[in-house]
Structure 1
Amino acid sequence: MKIELSSPMLQAMLGTRAGMVPGVAEQAEASAGPGFAQTMKSAIDQVDAQQHAASDKTAAVESGQSDDLIGAMLSSQEAGLSFSMMMQVRNKLMSAFDDIIKMQV
């Protein structure tokens, strides 16, 4: 017999029991949104895009196609700061992972 998830109360009750009821965990994961790995990949892609844009602006200034030196420098600094922040987040994550691995169970 299949249970119809028609009432919001029943959905909320099943959502809290997602770890105990087979099949509900997959439904809860599907509606949870993007996961941690997808979020990190998106952040890395954004930093990469900023670095490519800064490189393109710098190349345009160097070749004489553009005279926006200030824009190229600001873009380069922004890309550098974004990369630095991404590395700090990576270092914090690795430190937290190391702490979890070293925990006594």
Structure 2
Amino acid sequence: MSLSIQTASSQLQHTMQIQGDMAKGLIKPSAMAQDETNPVSFSALMEQKIASVNNDQLVSDALTRAVDTGESDDLVGAMVATQKASLSFDAMMQIRNRLMQAFDDIMKMPI
């Protein structure tokens, strides 16, 4: 169990490092780095983002479980991971709601 917590923690740190570098402009996001000859498909992008949200949930669960069982005393890290997972899930749900609303609007258009 301790190995999976360390793995989850290292994955979280790696993700935070990459996002920090992206925020500083040192790394371009992969979706924006694509040129027009090789476009990113919408379904592939959505699958990637859903997998990312799922990974955030799994990391949050692992860190919370570690704190609950006493294997870790990093309560702050667990709470931050939980909030990150919650925010990413809420954002994904907002995107889904907007897509469904746009689909409904298109379906209601007269031909």
Asked if these proteins are the same fold (TM beyond 0.5), I'd say yes
Matched, 1:89 2:95: yes
Shift of residue 34 of structure 1? 2.1
Matched, 1:45 2:39: no
Matched, 1:101 2:86: no
Matches of 2:39 and 2:66, distance apart in 1: 39
Matched residue count: 76
> TM (normalized to structure 1)?
0.69
Shift of residue 32 of structure 1? 3.1
RMSD value, Cα: 1.3
Higher helix share: 2
Matches of 1:89 and 1:42, distance apart in 2: 14
Aligned partner of 1:75 in structure 2 is 81
Structure 1 unpaired stretches of 5+: 1-30
Matches of 1:86 and 1:48, distance apart in 2: 11
Matches within 5 A, 1:16-35: 31-35=37-41
Matched, 1:57 2:58: no
Secondary structure of 2:68 counterpart: helix
Shift of residue 87 of structure 1? 0.1
> TM (normalized to structure 2)?
0.66
Matches of 2:106 and 2:59, distance apart in 1: 38
Structure 2 unpaired stretches of 5+: 1-36
Aligned partner of 1:20 in structure 2 is none
Higher relative contact order (CA 8 A, sep 6+): 2
The structure that has the greater radius of gyration is: 1
Matches of 1:92 and 1:33, distance apart in 2: 23
- The one-letter code sitting in structure 2 at the alignment partner of 1:101 is M
